[in-house]
Amino acid sequence: MTNQVKCPYKKVDLSWFTGTANPCPDLYQPICGTNFVTYENPCIFCIESMKSHGKIRFQNDGKC
């Protein structure tokens, strides 16, 4: 069974944004991306995935 993380913000173009913002809750629920980076939670992963234009994808739950 393949799990996937659905990023609800994928239609938002953040390419213009160069500042720092953290819209994610302060929740520790580690998730591993296909770039073998462990993200603190799915929200942070989704933001990084969007910034990479979808190049970073969900690998597995937990640490890499």
pTM over 0.75: no
Q: Which residue has the tokens 């929740």?
A: 27
Per-residue pLDDT at 35:
96
At residue 34, the pLDDT reads: 96
What type of residue sits at position 51? Answer: K
Tens place of pLDDT per residue across the chain (64 aa): 445 566 655 555 666 666 666 678 788 999 999 999 999 999 889 889 988 988 999 999 999 9
* The predicted structure's pLDDT at residue 11: 58
Looking at residue 2, what is its pLDDT?
47
- Residue 41's nearest CA partner among 26, 51, 59 is 26
